[in-house]
Structure 1
Amino acid sequence: MSFTRTLRAVGGVAVAGALLFGSAPAASADQIRDDQWPLKAFDAESVWKVSTGKGVTVAVIDDPVDSDHPDLRGNVLRGKDVESGGPANHEDQRDHGTAMASIIAGHGHGAGNSEGVKGLAPGAKILPVGIPSGDSIPDLDSGGLADAVNYAVDNGASVINMSFGQSTLSAEDKQALSNAVKKDVFLVVATGNDGVGRLDQLTSFPGVVAVGAVDNSGRVWDESNYGRQTMLTAPGTRIRSAAASKPYRLANGTSDSAAYVSGAAALLRAKFPDLTAGQIANRLVKTAGLPPGQAGMKLPDPHYGYGFIKPFSALTKDIPTGSKNGPLKTPKGDSAPSAGGATAPGASSTGGDQANGQKASGLGPGAIVGIALGVLAVAAVIVIVVVSQKKKGRNGPPPGGPGGFGGPGGAGFTPQQPGPYQQPGPYQQPGPYQQQPGGPGAYPPAPPTQPPGR
């Protein structure tokens, strides 16, 4: 099987000698943190007062990770390289896996960890799962993805980040992904960096969260792949992250966007350990935002999905729990996840198996007639009681709160509508992060100053 990672070879911009660890003055080292505009856009300091992702394991299926990087040291588990069978935490050449790990769970370094790259979920642990690559393009035999996903699930990952694309899935791959969905793992996949309206089989697989990229104004990046399967977007332009062959890189790509969504999922899984993956997705969807002038679009939109993530809102807003699957589709032949969260008030916790059991109950025609007559008798009694109550003026409001079962508090997932959670411009920051012609993150991108997208 051939993996085509159109997301991997994002143009890393090497950081020159003045920014090497230990050789730069404090002001230069702080510039790396200052370059992380998504943390400012997310108001990460407020986010970390609510959750840091502590106790959550995020698998990064990618290049192996440099666990000795100062911004990751102590946050990377041993993991496994599925090609060699050895550990996946000693990479010193390929940058992509280390970059994704740092966006998710980097903790920085220096006094108070104020320097270097910090991830959205600095308290989470990274489980690196290395996949083969040559010349920046992975090339796995059949079953490679299945092996990686199965290892991640079997070793405690509740979030899996897959910042790569795959045009076809084998039967083994589909079974592994279905098993991950059944085990209630939150699966994140990047849409790709070709700017085309076509998503591959992995991105389109039921149960995964497909993520596109936006710039710092919240507008979709012009090279972000799109399609009806797109669920969310996240920052993906001018992203500063750690690297293995050099201290840091600067890049564009939906890979980075997916990593931010994985970090947000880790925050939520730590804060709401009883919620299912679908209910976590529900919180991200229901609190997502749209850029100025787009609040009235029909959702999900092929480019934006339900909008860009707003982690603080997802952590703190009063969002109904919703159904176990939330906005996620279930792989064919699978039932809803059995692990995690409570069923929403009024929602059924049973599925198709119950109906099948009724069909196989073996009731004969005589028993069915008897049951029917009994039901009619009970109904007659109920009618008499209701009429009597009406005469006495004792009828209360309809069940389910104001508006009946369909009113406020109703169970289940409802697609997000334009409303209070779609506030314009939350990624457009004051000062140097305002949109400027040719500036970092400007929309549309300014080719002479932007690193390449693949």
Structure 2
Amino acid sequence: MPFQKYGARQRSLSALATLGAGLMVLGGIAPAAVAQDISSQQWYLKDMQADGMWKVSKGKGITVAVVDTGVNASISELQGQVLGGADMSRRPSSAHKDTDGHGTNMAALIAGTGANGGIQGLAPEAKILPVKDVQDARVDSADGIVGRAIRYAADHGAQIINISQGAEAVSSQLPRTHSAVNYAIRKGSLIFAAVGNTGNKTNGVAYPAGFPGVVGVGAIDREGKATKWSNSGDQVGLVAIGDEIPTHCGDNVCTSHGTSQATAITSASAALIWSKHPEWTNNQVLRVMMQTAAKPKSGDIPSSYVGYGSVRPRKVLIDGEGDPGPANTNPLLAREGATKPKPSESASQPAEDDSQPASDKRAAEKPAQEAKASDDGGNSTLWVALGAGVVVVAGAAVAFTVVRRRGGTMARP
């Protein structure tokens, strides 16, 4: 049973795209016109105050490994952004071949330049190290492939390892992945992994997000609320925007949702911070991210739904907040900043700092009953495509469901 991705496409992007539907039927929309709609719809960049952050840092000098389906380095926004990488699959071809698109979209969300109207990444001067880990259906094989991919990333200069996928399993089923995670953390890498999109309906923990020291990433929506489909529990360390994210759908454009996308945005946030403070260790970058996250006012911290809160790199880069603290102590393992709720607090209260944009400030708890909400489809394979679900293609208004692959590779958006 292979790891699956957690990312779904769901809605058309804009009125322009809807108008374009008729034009596509008659003769097609020029790719540039479709691409322009991507950059114009990346609302979360404004919400996160990206322009202000980019005056301080764009991620230069940071390598982010994307352990995924490969990365197509030829698309406009990724030209010059992608390193050589490696294909760890049982039948390797090239890390730059991505027949699915999931890895390419994650890479673009992290380090896309926005060239020719393509996806503008949050850390556009970071470099992407593609590590392809397409797997077959055997759990022992998947464990070995993902384990090798993580070790490769750590050995080839990746300060940040983005794993927008996970396996709903027990940790003992994944010894090689667990060993590789420990190895990478000791080498100084910071690992972000998606927690999954089943709304906990399967009652499983997604690994590697669930391994100690790994930052499990959940998703919030445009209003700063934890989404009903984002998994909860102890595996959630941080959350980020993971809804209404424009992505490529082949030759078209979709909006997407998933903890895959939230993980990519969290990895890019870390790249911005680490680029500004290259002397910091993985633990110190994570510590300031936890300190400056928008905290929930309700429940325990870390919260079951939003962990230590929603990422706000602007607090570090623009406002100068955060104390990096000790270099060799992992703040997640030390439970730094953990608190118990006050008796008077309710589960519906938003996060602090109401003067800021909702999606950047509120890490509000979702109601407990939402933890059982269903997501986009069944889950019979082990590795879960973090966010795979329903898509409507912009400009064509064609809805379809991304079917999780049962016989081999991870299901992707």
TM-score above 0.5:
yes
Matches within 5 A, 1:73-88: 73-83=79-89, 84-88=91-95
* Residue number in structure 2 paired with 1:126: 128
Are residue 274 (structure 1) and residue 275 (structure 2) matched?
no
Aligned residue for 1:219, secondary structure, equals coil
Stretches of structure 1 that go unaligned for 5 or more consecutive residues are 331-411, 430-443
Matches within 5 A, 1:139-218: 140-166=141-167, 167=169, 168=171, 169-196=173-200, 198-218=204-224
* Residue number in structure 2 paired with 1:89: 96
- 1:237 is aligned with what amino acid? D
Are residue 109 (structure 1) and residue 115 (structure 2) matched?
yes
* Residue number in structure 1 paired with 2:225: 219
CA contact (8 A) 1:78 1:87 kept: no
1:304-362 per-position Cα deviation (integer Å, ceiling 9, x unaligned): 111111111132433222223242228xxxxxxxxxxxxxxxxxxxxxxxxxxxxxxxx
* Residue number in structure 1 paired with 2:52: 46
| Mapped partners of 1:149, 1:130: distance in 2 | 10
1:348-399 per-position Cα deviation (integer Å, ceiling 9, x unaligned): xxxxxxxxxxxxxxxxxxxxxxxxxxxxxxxxxxxxxxxxxxxxxxxxxxxx
* Residue number in structure 2 paired with 1:234: 240
- 2:286 is aligned with what amino acid? A
* Residue number in structure 2 paired with 1:432: none
1:264-307 per-position Cα deviation (integer Å, ceiling 9, x unaligned): 111111111111111111111111115xxx53443110001111
| Mapped partners of 2:210, 2:95: distance in 1 | 27
Of all paired residues, the percent bearing the same amino acid is 33
Are residue 64 (structure 1) and residue 70 (structure 2) matched?
yes
Aligned residue pairs, count:
341
Distance 1:44 1:416, change over 3 A: farther
CA contact (8 A) 2:238 2:310 kept: yes
Shift of 1:416: 7.4
| Mapped partners of 1:117, 1:416: distance in 2 | 38
For normalisation by structure 2, the TM-score amounts to 0.74
- 1:171 is aligned with what amino acid? P
Shift of 1:199: 2.2
| Mapped partners of 2:235, 2:282: distance in 1 | 17
Are residue 253 (structure 1) and residue 262 (structure 2) matched?
no
* Residue number in structure 2 paired with 1:400: none
* Residue number in structure 1 paired with 2:386: none
| Mapped partners of 2:353, 2:311: distance in 1 | 12
Are residue 327 (structure 1) and residue 313 (structure 2) matched?
no
Higher relative contact order (CA 8 A, sep 6+): 2
Aligned residue for 2:218, secondary structure, equals strand
Matches within 5 A, 1:300-339: 300-316=302-318, 317-324=320-327, 325-329=329-333
Are residue 287 (structure 1) and residue 217 (structure 2) matched?
no
Shift of 1:222: 0.5
Distance 1:305 1:450, change over 3 A: farther
| Mapped partners of 1:327, 1:229: distance in 2 | 14
* Residue number in structure 1 paired with 2:31: 21
* Residue number in structure 1 paired with 2:405: none
| Mapped partners of 1:224, 1:57: distance in 2 | 27
Distance 1:30 1:203, change over 3 A: same
- 1:149 is aligned with what amino acid? I
Distance 1:171 1:134, change over 3 A: closer
Distance 1:318 1:81, change over 3 A: same
Shift of 1:146: 1.2
CA contact (8 A) 2:2 2:136 kept: no
CA contact (8 A) 1:107 1:118 kept: yes
Are residue 100 (structure 1) and residue 88 (structure 2) matched?
no
CA contact (8 A) 2:8 2:258 kept: no
- 1:128 is aligned with what amino acid? P
Aligned residue for 1:251, secondary structure, equals strand
| Mapped partners of 1:313, 1:7: distance in 2 | 28
* Structure index of larger Rg: 1
Stretches of structure 2 that go unaligned for 5 or more consecutive residues are 342-350, 360-372, 377-389, 393-400, 403-412
CA contact (8 A) 1:198 1:225 kept: no
Shift of 1:192: 0.2
Shift of 1:157: 0.5
CA contact (8 A) 2:5 2:164 kept: no
Distance 1:320 1:416, change over 3 A: farther
* Residue number in structure 2 paired with 1:381: none
Distance 1:88 1:261, change over 3 A: same
CA contact (8 A) 2:217 2:240 kept: yes
Distance 1:414 1:48, change over 3 A: same
